[in-house]
Structure 1
Amino acid sequence: MRIIFMGTPDFAVPTLDALVAAGHDVVAVYSQPPRPAHRGKKETPSPVHARAAALGLPVLTPTSLRNAQAQAEFAAHDADVAVVAAYGLILPQAILDAPRHGCLNVHGSLLPRWRGAAPVQRAILAGDAETGVGIMQMEAGLDTGPVRLEGRTPIAGKTAGELTTELAQLGARLMVDVLADLDSHPAVAQPEDGITYAAKISKDEARLDWNLSAVQVERSVRAFNPMPGAWFEMGGERFKLLAADVVPPAEAPVGMAPGTILDDSLTIACNPGAIRPTLIQRAGRGAMGVAELLRGFSIAPGTRLD
């Protein structure tokens, strides 16, 4: 098939690779424009842009698809279908209608649960037992289109980074299956019940709240790993908490103020329960185990975190 691919982050790269490997003719790749990145703030192409260039595919990086010229250029590709994976721009109706078979989206949730920008993180924060990925026929609404195929996976203690990588690979396989035989994967309307929305994650939201239960705090640690990173402050310094265990109820002291350091293993009181960090990162340094941290940074039991 003649395919326009539209994607930006690492999540989208496996789908692009799978389309090429399956022998499809990717006639154009659309991605977000290069943005300042890293310490030097050098203009850096997106992961999809970089991968497409390595594959020798033409890349376009418009800042909008709402103007007539951009829409005419898009239609001129004469595509059978557009494949979309975390592109980052709203597609107006003229874009959705241009390919012969419309636009198909790789969405990282079991729709209609977690429509929107951050489905993986929201599923972890909510304590969902499983999530998945769906191949959705796009329409003008926010992730409201019918679904052609979906796959499921248990969350089972995974971080957002681990889960995103898994869903990216799963979504790539499902997209290839759908494109191999569209008629065998008809678009099925989403249920009208069970709709939830996955709002974008803010950096402030990633600040750990010790007034939450230990279970909820541990979910936050996983949901914000790797980005933006769950964090707390102590003595004016910011620490990222990359991994933690929930302390068994029998071992968690009661009556301690939330945010209190309980022992020499950096166990932290929550409300209720406690967590025991296992991987932590100081500002400007690499990740380290708690024992390594405490060898060079003394934190006395009874200390209250900011």
Structure 2
Amino acid sequence: MSRPLRIAFMGSPDFSVPALRALHGAGHHIVAVYTQPPKPAGRGQRETPCPVHRAALELGLPVRTPARVRKDEAEHAAFRALDLDVAVVAAYGLILPKAMLDAPRRGCLNIHASLLPRWRGAGPIQAAILAGDSETGITIMRMEEGLDTGPMLLRESVPIGPRMTTPELHDALAAIGGPLVLRALAENPEPVPQPEEGVTYAPKLSKPDGRIDWWQDAAALDRRIRAMNPWPGCFFQAGEEVIRVLAAEPAPGEGLPGTVLDGAPTIACGAGAIRLLRLQRAGRAAMPAADFLRGFPMPAGTVLAPTPA
């Protein structure tokens, strides 16, 4: 490796941790780790640091947790004072202003979880599964003020298997982000502008995105269940209860959408049917469908009501 670089790492969730560890393990001088501030979590609502914060403390790295940075000139000055060669950003969660983007000598590099320009935005992993894409990947991008619009340095693709869930794809992408950004830092490749065609956006998810619409075709509903796992999770109404679907698969069958076709249970969709494999009632443990049905029968012929948003 050439001389160690002065780096600020900016990230928050589990996705970002392998990249932080890779940069540290490669011998770079990480002068600051920026993360989201600790948030209340668990039954006691205790202030809990995010995964990157915990990893940084384990590695003995200095941590900064500003609640906002866009208009905080003191934060901008503190960032400039770090005298950075580069900042590496991976799912940080805050938008960086121009004053911070321009501060490091080599700019700010983003580890983005898609093959840009496809799936700019906050939810690229889920969006790729939801759309039925056959592959996605990691793009190392030099950041600018637009939303994921900056020029690309390196890309690496990952196939999306036919039964792949968001956690599985998340882990596959997280594993290649660190090595790829190390290559970008070592090789310093010429930035390539993103093509203007093929741009798609992946908005931030919210709870209504997990609502099951039985009028969708079975293949689309299967993708939704795999994409929305674990957040926001897919759910449907059965009587007075909201039931979460943790796993399912397309199955033979047809009927009025929302009708229980057999004791598996298999539910008719807008086209085809879907077999529910793992379910959960509110406040109860998740369990295989066969065990779930012993305590919550759903006999054939039952028509499930439309799920409220």
Output the TM-score relative to the length of structure 1: 0.96
1:226 positional shift: 1.1
Question: Which amino acid counterpart does residue 158 of structure 1 have in structure 2?
Answer: M
1:271 positional shift: 0.1
1:287 positional shift: 2.2
Matching residue of 1:246: 250
1:285 positional shift: 2.4
Q: Measure the CA separation in 1 of the matches of 2:276 and 2:101.
A: 46
Q: Measure the CA separation in 2 of the matches of 1:18 and 1:77.
A: 21
Q: Which secondary structure does the structure 1 equivalent of 2:262 belong to?
A: coil
Matching residue of 2:261: 262
Q: Measure the CA separation in 2 of the matches of 1:38 and 1:230.
A: 22
Q: Measure the CA separation in 1 of the matches of 2:42 and 2:168.
A: 22
Question: Which amino acid counterpart does residue 171 of structure 1 have in structure 2?
Answer: G
What CA deviation, in whole Å up to 9, does each residue of 1:82-108 have, x standing for no partner? 000000111100100101100000000
1:112 positional shift: 0.4
Answering whether residue 145 of structure 2 is matched by residue 146 of structure 1, we say no
Q: Which secondary structure does the structure 2 equivalent of 1:228 belong to?
A: coil
Matching residue of 1:77: 82
Matching residue of 2:121: 116
Give ranges in structure 2 of 5+ residues lacking alignment: none
- Number of positions where the alignment pairs a residue of Structure 1 with one of Structure 2: 299
Q: Measure the CA separation in 1 of the matches of 2:137 and 2:286.
A: 29
Among 194, 198, 213, which residue is 1:190 paired with?
194
Answering whether residue 138 of structure 2 is matched by residue 136 of structure 1, we say no
1:232 positional shift: 1.0
Q: Measure the CA separation in 2 of the matches of 1:207 and 1:26.
A: 42
Answering whether residue 179 of structure 2 is matched by residue 178 of structure 1, we say no
1:195 positional shift: 0.4
1:297 positional shift: 2.0
1:57 positional shift: 0.6
Answering whether residue 270 of structure 2 is matched by residue 271 of structure 1, we say yes
Matching residue of 2:234: 230
Q: Measure the CA separation in 1 of the matches of 2:114 and 2:187.
A: 23
Matching residue of 2:285: 286
Among 215, 218, 236, which residue is 1:214 paired with?
218
Q: Measure the CA separation in 2 of the matches of 1:150 and 1:240.
A: 36
Q: Which secondary structure does the structure 2 equivalent of 1:191 belong to?
A: coil
1:295 positional shift: 2.2
Q: Which secondary structure does the structure 1 equivalent of 2:195 belong to?
A: coil
Matching residue of 2:130: 125
Output the TM-score relative to the length of structure 2: 0.95
1:133 positional shift: 0.8
Answering whether residue 92 of structure 2 is matched by residue 87 of structure 1, we say yes
- Percent identity over the alignment is 56
1:58 positional shift: 0.6
1:288 positional shift: 1.4
Matching residue of 1:24: 28
Q: Which secondary structure does the structure 2 equivalent of 1:50 belong to?
A: helix
Q: Which secondary structure does the structure 2 equivalent of 1:284 belong to?
A: coil
Question: Which amino acid counterpart does residue 235 of structure 1 have in structure 2?
Answer: G
Q: Which secondary structure does the structure 1 equivalent of 2:76 belong to?
A: helix
Answering whether residue 60 of structure 2 is matched by residue 56 of structure 1, we say yes
Structure 1 window deviating more from structure 2 (112-121 vs 282-291): it is 282-291
Q: Which secondary structure does the structure 1 equivalent of 2:82 belong to?
A: coil
Answering whether residue 110 of structure 2 is matched by residue 105 of structure 1, we say yes
Question: Which amino acid counterpart does residue 244 of structure 2 have in structure 1?
Answer: K
Q: Measure the CA separation in 2 of the matches of 1:289 and 1:12.
A: 32
Answering whether residue 166 of structure 2 is matched by residue 163 of structure 1, we say no
Q: Which secondary structure does the structure 2 equivalent of 1:262 belong to?
A: strand
Q: Measure the CA separation in 2 of the matches of 1:148 and 1:133.
A: 11
Q: Measure the CA separation in 1 of the matches of 2:88 and 2:74.
A: 21
